[in-house]
Structure 1
Amino acid sequence: MPDSGGRADAAAGNPAADTPTGFDLDAAWELNPKVALRPEPFGALLYHFGTRKLSFLKNLTVVGIVQSLAETPTAEAALAEAGITDAERPLYLQALGALADSGMITRR
């Protein structure tokens, strides 16, 4: 059966869906130097000056994780520092994977 790669797969514990494509939890990450993060009451705006792409983070915990990436040794450590539970992990892995895929966060 083909892997759909969706949220349901991650929630079901499919190991391939636990780590999004192109995202390594054991790597050191940071906000891309070409990206500005502007906190907002709903979360944050991200603007990539290279691609001119605007993204919205609508989750304050994701904003905190993104801001802490440069100060933690790995993305895994940033999730642990934020208190992300096993049940919450798929949502945050999906968000970090999307940010990595779009170039908003990069490896250090």
Structure 2
Amino acid sequence: MSTETTAPTFDLDTAWGLHPQVSIRPERFGALMYHFGTRRLSFLKNPTLLKVVDSLDSHPSARAACFEAGIPADQLPSYIAALAMLASTTMIRPR
């Protein structure tokens, strides 16, 4: 029995956007994301991640949104993991 877990994959070079059934409500700590279709609630506790998610629809790729948000290359893997989680829960989807 294997105990290895694989991290979700996420293509930074794909155009991503907020699912049409998702609403974002800014909060002091970041934001709440609510998916009206799945009734799932997610918390964004990082203002930079919120900036990336908010701008996905206006960039040609997630990489461009991360670059515009000023994410340094050494921090990019943690943002990729967060975006992959949002994609796996259909909060964001490919455009």
Q: TM-score, normalised by structure 2?
A: 0.91
- CA deviation after TM superposition for structure 1 residue 29, in Å: 0.5
Mapped pair 1:60 → 2:47: yes
Mapped pair 1:91 → 2:78: yes
Mapped pair 1:29 → 2:7: no
The answer for unaligned runs of 5 or more in structure 2 is none
Deviations 1:1-29 (A, max 9, x none): x86446xxxxxxxxxxxxx42x2111100
How many residues are matched? 93
SS at match of 2:73: coil
- C-alpha RMSD of matched pairs (Å): 1.5
> Percent identity of the aligned residues?
55
**Structure 2: how far apart are the matches of 1:26 and 1:99?**
16
Deviations 1:19-59 (A, max 9, x none): x42x2111100111000000001000000000001111100
Q: TM-score, normalised by structure 1?
A: 0.81
The answer for unaligned runs of 5 or more in structure 1 is 7-19
Residue type at the aligned position of 1:44:
A
- CA deviation after TM superposition for structure 1 residue 63, in Å: 0.4
